[in-house]
Amino acid sequence: MRLKYRAIRICGLALCVLGVTTGLRAAMPTGAASGSVGHAAPDFALPAALGNNVRLSEYRGQPVILSFWSSRCGLCARQLVALDRYYGTYRSSGLIVLAVSVDDDAQHAQDYARAHVTAFPLLLDQAKTVSRAYGIGRLPTTVLIDRGGVVRFLHSDDGAGDESYVAQIRALLDDKFGGL
């Protein structure tokens, strides 16, 4: 009998702990990135690995794909190739693609940029201020921003080859969100 009460108390305690941790998890933000959909994209200015500085706000009025990557991330390399294809297809319609490196060593990102040329700028966020502003928790992460500077879609995966990306890019290009 005593063992039965002890088992019930342990189960009750386990359920209590489970309830508290589940409640805390639900109350905790999952990162600014997931909560940023529908909000203004944080502005930034970063140097390009090869080229001039780039400021996000300079592209207001155009849909922007912002991709966070690292030179040591194999999934990121595939993502950048897919985004380069999309940029080649949709840049005449006004699409902008910016890729932000979160490498600690700027030289690694610059070497990668020289070895893997893209038609869009590869930017350096060595201090990680931009990746923190967007709440980036894993790589690659891609943020799709409408013409009005509002985050509309967020992907924390390497699925840029997925047809949903094309549909979302077309929605941004068609300005289905009221843009400006």
Q: Which residues are catalytic?
A: 76
**Distance spanning both ends of the chain, measured CA to CA:** 70
Region of 38 on the Ramachandran plot (φ > 0 left; ψ -120 to 50 alpha; else beta): left
Residues across the chain: 180
Strand pairing category for 151-155 and 45-47: unpaired
> In this structure, how many other beta carbons lie within 10 angstroms of the beta carbon of residue 64?
21
- Dig out the tokens for 180 from the structure: 């400006």
Which residues have CB under 8 Å from 55's CB, separation 6+? 43, 44, 45
